[in-house]
Amino acid sequence: MTSYVALIYSPDIDWSQPEFADGMAEYQKFGEDTASVIRGGAALYHTPTTTTVRVTGGKGGDVVLSDGPYAETKEALTGFYLLECTDLDEAIKVASMIPGAWNGAVEIRPALPLTVKVPTFETSDTVSQ
């Protein structure tokens, strides 16, 4: 099995508004229909809530913040799913079922697995007295 990230680009609207309930129901149905391959994901708040972070001069340089996304576009990054599929063909099939693909686009990328060491901390329960 391969992990894929499905990046959803669609019109930038505020999905929390009641008039978009039907659209949210489509995403709910997608989630139910494809639960066996979805490993995670999230909808993103619309672009006015975006903060873009850049570091000038490389590591340790000045941090520069700007409001909004990097570029003005008709379609914005509005969400993502982490999928676990047998191959690219299955990932394409699943991506074509994402409602954002019907009025925007879904970009699929294989995900590179990362190993992150999580630090462990001693608590008063584990420290010898």
Chain segment 32-75, per-residue pLDDT in tens? 999 999 999 999 988 888 898 999 999 999 999 988 766 667 78
| Chain mean pLDDT for the chain | 89
Structure tokens at 20: 């978009």
CB count in 10 Å sphere of residue 98: 25
Q: What percent of the chain has a predicted confidence (pLDDT) above 90?
A: 60
- Calculate mean pLDDT across residues 108-127: 78
Domain 2-47+74-110 class, CATH top level: alpha beta
User: Does the predicted TM-score (pTM) go above 0.75?
Assistant: yes
Instruction: Answer whether 40's CB lies under 8 Å from 82's CB.
Output: yes
Q: Delimit the domains of the chain by residue range.
A: 2-47+74-110
Residue 31 has pLDDT above 60, yes or no: yes
* The pLDDT of residue 84 is above 90: yes
pLDDT for 129:
46
* Residues 3, 82 contacting (CB under 8 angstroms): yes
Cβ contacts of 110 within 8 Å, gap of 6 or more: 2, 3, 4, 88
